[in-house]
Amino acid sequence: ALMCGVQASSGVLCAETEYHLTEISTLFLFCRYNIKALIGRGSFSRVVRVEHRATKQPFAIKIIETKAKEGREVCESELNVLRRVSHRNIIQLMEVFESHERVYMVMELATGGELFDRIIAKGSFTERDATRVLQMVLDSIKYLHSLGITHRDLKPENLLYYHPGVDSKILVTDFGLASSGNKAGDWLMRTTCGTPEYIAPEILLRKPYTNAVDAWALGVITYIMLSGSMPFEEENRTRLYRMILKGRYSFAGEPWPNVSNLAKDFITRLLTIDPNDRMTASQALKHPWIVTMAASSSMKNLHRSISQNLMRRASSRCHSSKSGHSSGSNKSRLEQAVVRFLCRQLPTEKKECPVGGQDG
């Protein structure tokens, strides 16, 4: 406890002194915050829920292991972005503590759950609900792009509700793959990265690419939001990439007959093979479907079709996993959301949920 009062003296620091100061920095962290629970885990990181000892305010701390080169790169990417941004729909970095092998990023805590947890748990979901979400996400992506930042890993799992209330804002999170360049929106990137089902064609072609890859991912997200199914889905990675490169998807099956042409046009303009013809985030915000908040669309409840498609997908993945085609550990958080929903439908005395909270 006495270490909480230690102050660093000024002057040139030798390596040993620097080492001790990083350890003292870590002690300051634990003096300031009380760790409550582990809420997430990634390849090089863990996320814990903490409480500020003085104010009792809850926060999240992302602990990134920086011993490995990959961990250091993820940490640098995330910090480079979060230290520059300030937007109501982007997760906010509060402070950073460092030790020799770890970086502790204190961030605001999103308690409202992932996007699809909320959609599945709701009894109703319409096109208007989708446009509300998209307005917030598009505004944050437009802001990032204006700073020369490309997210490069947009997907439903990285869109969190700030609180459980119906009026909660959406927060864009997880900037581990983000590229932070100059202020020109056409800054070129070359690293092949992203989540397979959301990767834009130009990345697969190993061409230099722009922030238009985020717009492609938003097209995939919108398709899933309105239907509960993926536009590009295939267990075999090679066949999946071939589908993406050809832009081969369809609006067949439920609930697409009940989805407006404007909504389909919005998706089509984002899932455009040529990045030069693809809508930007700024243009997407001006699309009539978004501007009118689907005013001319049917207010038909799409929830049943969305849930059924998500459950069908989870069931299919479960069967292929049992057949040895895929690993259970690869189960997406989209599928985990479905399992949690199914668990909530069971009678109280029979509830036994095989999937925990966030494990990404």
Question: Which of 304, 320, 346 delimits the end of a domain?
Answer: 304
**pLDDT above 80 for 351:** no
pTM (predicted TM-score): 0.82
Establish whether 153 is a catalytic residue: yes
What is the residue range of 161's domain? 115-304
Q: Does 153 have pLDDT greater than 80? A: yes
Q: Is residue 230 part of a domain?
A: yes
- Pair of tokens at residue 320: 């292929």
pLDDT score of 327 more than 60: no
Confidence bin at 21 (pLDDT 50/70/90): very low
Out of 8-22, 90-104, 118-132, least confident range: 8-22
Report the CATH number at residue 77: 3.30.200.20
For 23-57, write each residue's pLDDT tens digit. Answer: 556 777 888 999 999 988 888 889 999 999 999 99
User: pLDDT-derived band of residue 119, with 50, 70 and 90 as boundaries?
Assistant: confident
State how beta strands 45-52 and 58-65 pair.
antiparallel
Q: Are 11 and 134 within one domain? A: no
Domain assignment present for 227: yes
How do residues 204-223 score in pLDDT, each as one tens digit? 999 999 999 999 999 999 99
Same domain, 128 and 101: no
188 and 96, same domain (yes or no): no
Which of 40, 73, 108 finishes a domain? 108
Q: Are 189 and 265 in a shared domain?
A: yes
62 assigned binding-site residue: yes
Q: In CATH, what number is assigned to the domain containing residue 154?
A: 1.10.510.10
Same domain? For 96 and 153 the reply is no
In a domain, 339, yes or no: no
Cis peptide before 164 (omega within 30 of 0): no
Q: Which of 117, 139, 153, 214 is catalytic?
A: 153
Would the pLDDT of 280 be above 70? yes
Taking 50 as the threshold, does the pLDDT of residue 329 lie above it? Answer: no
Query: DSSP string of 178-207?
Result: -EE--S-TT--B----S-GGG--HHHHTT-
Query: Residue 295 above 80 pLDDT?
Result: yes
pLDDT at 141: 98
**Number of domains observed in the structure of the chain:** 2
Query: Quick one: 202 and 297 in the same domain?
Result: yes
Highest mean pLDDT pick, 28-32, 266-270, 350-354: 266-270
